[in-house]
Amino acid sequence: MNRVKTAVLVSGGGTNLQALINEQQAGRLPHVEFVSVIASRPDAYALTRAQKAGIPGHVVARKGQSQEAFEQGILDLLEKDGVQLIILAGFMSILSASFVQRYPRRILNVHPALLPAFGGKGCYGLHVHEAALARGVKVTGATVHYVNEIADGGEIILQKAVAVEPGDTPETLQRRVMEQAEWRILPQAAELAAQEILEEK
């Protein structure tokens, strides 16, 4: 079967990467082929997950080099592997407009809130859940969207709502949003995006 060569970009624990791997192994991502995992930090546990799943892992460290050199390092890997779809799964570095413009409707991002709420500058990781609790929302969730040159501004593919419970901390809320939303909609969106790429050909 025709499959879309896909790279997953990560920075940390990689639980979203794990969700993708699990769905792949369960046969639910028939049009997605993971060809590489690229980490912006050498200590990202996501690299261990990739290794265990037999996916080639690479480090392109953000630290210690310019934005241009960092992005060129990623582009070189993507081009070498003929990557057609890029998934940002807990990737904590900003990509420039010139990078993003090279891959229109080809970069997916998972964000731990219902965009446009709790998006934009400084809203990443646990900060998103801190902001949601501080605002007192009763419902939050996750969004998977295409990335364009405006941060968190691309077309939304899937969203899923999650209840905020009394007594939630940023950590308990983060965990619920991951379990109930992110780990479900990211693989679904990856398969949808891959099917769309194959249909365009």
Point out the residues that are catalytic.
111
Give least dist CB 99 to ligand GAR, A.
16
Closest listed residue to residue 197, CA positions, set 23, 4, 36, 53: 4
Closest listed residue to residue 85, CA positions, set 47, 31, 46, 39: 31
Give least dist CB 5 to ligand GAR, A.
21
Contact 20, 9 (CB under 8 A): no
Considering only the C-alpha atoms of the chain, give the largest distance between any 2 of them, rounded to a whole number of Å: 50
For ligand GAR, give the closer residue by CB, 69 or 94.
94
Contact 36, 195 (CB under 8 A): no
Give least dist CB 13 to ligand GAR, A.
4
For ligand GAR, give the closer residue by CB, 35 or 177.
177
For ligand GAR, give the closer residue by CB, 45 or 198.
45
For ligand GAR, give the closer residue by CB, 62 or 111.
111
Closest listed residue to residue 174, CA positions, set 90, 91, 107, 88: 90
Which residues make up the interface to ligand GAR (CB under 6 A)? 10, 12-16, 89-90, 110-112, 124-125, 128, 178, 182
Give least dist CB 142 to ligand GAR, A.
6
